[in-house]
Amino acid sequence: MTEQIGPTFDAKIDKLDRKGSGLAAVWRENNGYNPKKLKLIIPQTLPGETVRVTVDQPERRKRKAMPDSILEAHPERVVPECPHFEKCGGCVWQHWSYEGQLKQKTEHVKEAVSSEDFDPSLVQDTIGMDDPWHYRNKMEFTFSPDGELGLHEQGNWRKVISLETCLIAGKEMVEATMEVAAWVKQHELKGYNKDLHEGLLRHLMVRQSFATGEMMLAFFATEPPSGNLQKAIDDLVERIGEKFPQVKSLMWMVNTDWADRVQTEETHVLAGRDYIYDEMAGYRFRLWFDTFFQTNPTQAEKLVELALEIGAPKETEKMIDLFCGVGTFSLPFASRVEKLAGIEIVESSIESAKRNAEDNGVSNTYFLAKDAKNGIDQVLESFGNPELLLLDPPRSGAGGKVMRKIGRSGPDRIVYVSCNPESFATDIKELEPFGYTLKMVQPVDLFPNTIHVECVALLIKE
């Protein structure tokens, strides 16, 4: 007989949390006293659905549990296409029709701007993809201690799901990854054990340019590719070279640090070079293993086009590109303004931006490796106040101090590119005392089947 782990409830999903899981509340028994409310977090459910769920430790005030069954389904519920969906922590919305996802993302952005008293009607419908699959140009896979290669289980960073497929990664990337998995098994190589801090293989990073077709495979391991590994390494180089000639960068990175991050202490180029070429919006970029570049090139080009359209750069204007990265926005804008200054705290990104500008014959740029707050002051002192400013900050946003510096610099137009609607709304609220008005917000879906959404917004100084 199967041991019951707890009571079963029928729960109605009220709304979704910020991780895309359903939220519900039920009343539980309380030893004969008044029932107590139990708040539930139920992944893979949709608003308005009624589900049956079994809860362990129901005496707690809040519990997370998977649904046993769907009693009343949302009309937009669909059958997930990926065999890993129920366990994988990646695509949490594969059970929702794509049209439903887009509507939810639009509503998410509207709620965020409304929370800061902006007009939600300024938010346009989210721009989706014609084909919301195989859109990612970069993936990071993990090796389990027994050498299986895959993705982390949802909510469990110590368990790796052995990869059969990945429906959001580029198809050739998946094929190359499966070849690596077969190579590991053939040579009986061990993965890294995070608890014992022992083992060889930690991660595999795969990135491919959809424009040039060039691919990078980067292994992260605890030992150099020599000694007892030499025979296996020689086989790897040969089979990748034969089966995947598009791999222009095959690298082995040594990482002995306890932190579970994709980083390197030594870089060994096994074949090709240490970077690949990519293209976006008509410009050519060099990408290293740690280069930040938009992971959905199809939608990223739409982001650039939208930013150019609403920013309306003029050849007589000065412009600042804040959090400029490797120049994804800088180069297209620089070709349309008198001069452009890019600011980015990551020095390697600034070096890449300079090199990318040179490679593309863009000579009216100045790139500064500095944090945004101090970088603005330095640029304004030598560069003067800009007519146009674009910022594309990390998920945490730019922050009040940076936004107030932007406001004081007084650009005519501000283009804000955001990957987090909440921090975006908080940031632009700081601009109101400086006379800026929000004119429009255009959400763009760069991450189908996930909760994430990007925005491009325009603010005008009235």
Per-residue model confidence as pLDDT tens for the chain (462 residues): 234 577 899 999 999 998 999 999 998 877 767 788 999 999 999 999 999 999 988 778 899 999 999 999 999 999 999 999 988 877 899 999 999 999 999 999 999 999 999 999 999 999 999 999 999 999 999 999 999 999 988 777 778 888 889 999 999 999 999 999 999 999 999 999 988 889 999 999 999 999 999 999 999 999 999 999 999 999 999 999 999 999 999 999 999 987 778 888 999 999 999 999 999 999 999 999 999 899 999 999 999 999 999 999 999 999 999 999 999 999 999 999 999 999 999 999 999 999 999 999 999 999 999 999 999 999 999 989 999 999 999 999 999 999 999 999 999 999 999 999 999 999 999 999 999 999 999 999 999 999 999 999 999 999
Name the architecture of domain 138-280. Answer: Beta Barrel (2.40)
CA distances to 102, 111, 128, 222, 415 from 445, in Å: 7, 17, 5, 37, 18
Two structure tokens written together for 163: 């990869």
Burial of 369 (C-beta count, 10 Å sphere; 0-12/13-18/19+): middle
- The pLDDT value given to residue 166: 93
On whether the 8-75 domain is CATH 2.40.50.140, my answer is: yes
- The pLDDT value given to residue 155: 73
d(CA 44, CA 66): 8
Q: Where in the chain is the domain with CATH 2.40.50.140?
A: 8-75
This prediction's pTM? 0.92
Say if residues 27 and 4 touch (Cβ distance below 8 Å).
no
Q: Where in the chain is the domain with CATH 3.40.50.150?
A: 103-130+294-461
SS3 content of the chain, % helix, strand, coil (to 5): 25, 30, 40
Question: Residue 304: which of 322, 286, 330, 278 has the closest Cα?
Answer: 330
d(CA 387, CA 372): 18
**Can you say whether the dihedral through the CA atoms of 42, 48, 49, 51 is positive or negative?**
positive
Q: Where in the chain is the domain with CATH 2.40.50.1070?
A: 138-280
When the candidates are 3.10.110.10, 3.20.20.70, 3.40.50.150, 3.40.50.20, the CATH number that belongs to 103-130+294-461 is 3.40.50.150
Say if residues 375 and 342 touch (Cβ distance below 8 Å).
no
Two structure tokens written together for 169: 């990664």
Q: Which residues are catalytic?
A: 419
Say if residues 298 and 129 touch (Cβ distance below 8 Å).
yes
- The pLDDT value given to residue 278: 96
Tell me the three state secondary structure of residue 350.
helix
